[in-house]
Amino acid sequence: MASSAKHFINDPTHLVNSALRAATLTNPALALDADNKVVYRRPHAAHDAGKKVSILSGGGSGHEPSFAAMVGRGMLDAAVAGTIFASPSAEQVRVAIQARVDHHHHHGGGGGGGGVLVTVMNYTGDVLNFGMAVEKARAAGVPVEMVVVGDDVGVGREKAGKVGRRGIAGTVLVHKIAGALAARGRSLDEVARVARLAAQNLVSVGASLERVHVPGRAVAPTEDALAPGEVEIGMGIHNESGSGREKVELPALVGRMLAQMLDQGDADRAFLNVNSNEVVLLVNNLGGVSVLELGGITAEVVDQLARDWRIEPVRVLSGTYMTSLNGLGFSITLLNVVNTDIGGPSMVELLDDPAEATGWSAPVAKQTWEEKNAATREAKAGGEEQAKPSGLKTDPDEFRSKLEAGLKSVISVEPEVTRYDTIVGDGDCGIGLKRGAEGTFVA
């Protein structure tokens, strides 16, 4: 059965609508067009004086914080939401482009400023519906460009066929880079060019221990569930199948995932030669991994990148950027940082630029990364008080046997201590004492 079919809100329509409204509650600079499910930046005289390119994205719901929580100063100007895992309609997107973002449309006037960049992940429904809306807006005179992101390498060329690669968490980096460039006042042509360049230099792959359950849907038949300990490598963010399933521990799993992204010998999958001396790493929680465990996964990924691929990322981002509801999995994304060919700023500078979006979490400043501070604090040698002899004498064998007897009795009462601590506390006292006692025995 799916990872969890338990939800606090079981009505999918109410769930999506209320979550979109929450984006305006946590960021007062955002508004919601509830009829068209568009979250957009409120008009603001101080910020809207310049002719800034507007950036618009969207897709099915269920991938939060993408994309509604990525709307905000320095990132997206609007996000259009569909129902769970389903593309928004062309009409929703058209309204967003023509009425919910600033596109500085002047009849007859050329005007260098403004315009709209639409970015979308490579899923058939999204590409069709956003594409249709872009054509309609263009026909109405709106300067608009569209960039499609397909960063997933979980399915190789042969299996993906004409459809190409799916878009997953790397898309967020495209939004951050494009959003920062737009905020710097660059032209639509430049913003679109750099967004495409970022998209072409991304590789990502996910892995999941379980398929996800969509609220309001009947639980899928169990034969599709993963067995205990089994991992699906390359599972998509809508439960799509990946490259295979197997029982594998984290180090081997990460090794396989990195090879799918980096091994130039894998002809089916060598989509990108990650050859830059600057690489950005994004480790993304698919929604159901604990923060503690995501930390352990991130450490494993960074260790293997250095050991096996000689890659030391210039930026390491770890957190929840694009989910698959409560997906019990994670994805790894690498951005090969290339020259933007627009006379600066660099992709890394654009990632470092400030963004006021609740879904973008990268609070470490450029200066902090670049200082590469390696200083630590150590105990000062000889600073401690010298112990004075006490004059007590003891028989070491007798001392040891008495101590061991005491420790053994601590170990034997563990179940009883645990039982009492479960009643009055959090149930860990017995195990803590037992581990301490076991750790005291010296071979």
**pLDDT tens digits for range 387-443:** 788 888 888 898 889 999 999 999 999 999 998 888 888 888 888 898 898 887 654
Do the Cβ atoms of 76 and 96 come closer than 8 Å?
no
pLDDT at 5: 83
Q: Is 379 exposed, middle or buried (0-12, 13-18, 19+ CB in 10 A)?
A: exposed
Higher-scoring residue by pLDDT: 213, 278 = 278
pLDDT of residue 117 exceeding 50, the answer is yes
Task: Render pLDDT for 220-262 as a digit per residue (tens, 0 to 9).
Answer: 666 578 999 999 999 999 999 999 999 999 999 999 999 999 9
Q: Where are the chain's structural domains?
A: 12-149+177-198, 204-210+234-370, 396-440
pLDDT at 96: 98
Task: Render pLDDT for 307-317 as a digit per residue (tens, 0 to 9).
Answer: 999 999 999 99
pLDDT at 341: 85
pLDDT of residue 108 exceeding 90, the answer is no
pLDDT at 112: 52
Task: Render pLDDT for 71-101 as a digit per residue (tens, 0 to 9).
Answer: 999 999 999 999 999 999 999 999 999 999 9
Q: How many angstroms separate the Cα of 363 from the Cα of each of 41, 206, 293, 299, 321?
A: 22, 24, 21, 19, 14
pLDDT at 218: 83
CA atoms within 13 A on the CB side of 163: 16
Q: Residue range 25-43: average pLDDT?
A: 97
What sections of 116-170 are H helices per DSSP? 124-139, 157-160
pLDDT of residue 50 exceeding 70, the answer is no
Position 363 confidence tier, pLDDT thresholds 50, 70, 90: confident
β-strands 78-84, 38-41 pairing: antiparallel
Decide whether 12-149+177-198 matches 204-210+234-370 in CATH topology: no
Specify the CATH number of the domain 12-149+177-198: 3.40.50.10440
Q: In the structure encoding, which two tokens stand for residue 390, read together?
A: 């006490």
Higher-scoring residue by pLDDT: 113, 302 = 302
Pick the most confident of 1-15, 42-56, 118-132. 118-132
Active site residue 7: no
pLDDT at 110: 43
Q: Quote the CA–CA distance of 45 and 49 in Å, as a whole number.
A: 6
Q: In degrees rounded to 5, what are phi and psi of residue 40?
A: -145, 160
**Could you say which architecture CATH assigns to the domain 204-210+234-370?**
2-Layer Sandwich (3.30)
State percent of the chain over pLDDT 90.
75
pLDDT at 325: 96
pLDDT at 41: 98
Q: How many angstroms separate the Cα of 122 from the Cα of each of 115, 152, 164, 250, 413?
A: 22, 10, 8, 29, 59
pLDDT of residue 348 exceeding 50, the answer is yes
Residues contacting 86, CB < 8 A, separation 6+: 60, 125
Q: Which of 63, 103, 213, 238 is catalytic?
A: 238
Helix (H, G, I), strand (E, B), or coil: what is residue 82?
Answer: strand
CA atoms within 13 A on the CB side of 39: 34
Query: Is the pTM of the predicted complex or chain greater than 0.75?
Result: yes
Task: Render pLDDT for 227-238 as a digit per residue (tens, 0 to 9).
Answer: 999 999 999 999
DSSP for residue 418 = H
pLDDT of residue 322 exceeding 90, the answer is yes
Q: Quote the CA–CA distance of 339 and 323 in Å, as a whole number.
A: 30
Helix (H, G, I), strand (E, B), or coil: what is residue 208?
Answer: strand
pLDDT of residue 333 exceeding 70, the answer is yes
pLDDT of residue 105 exceeding 70, the answer is no
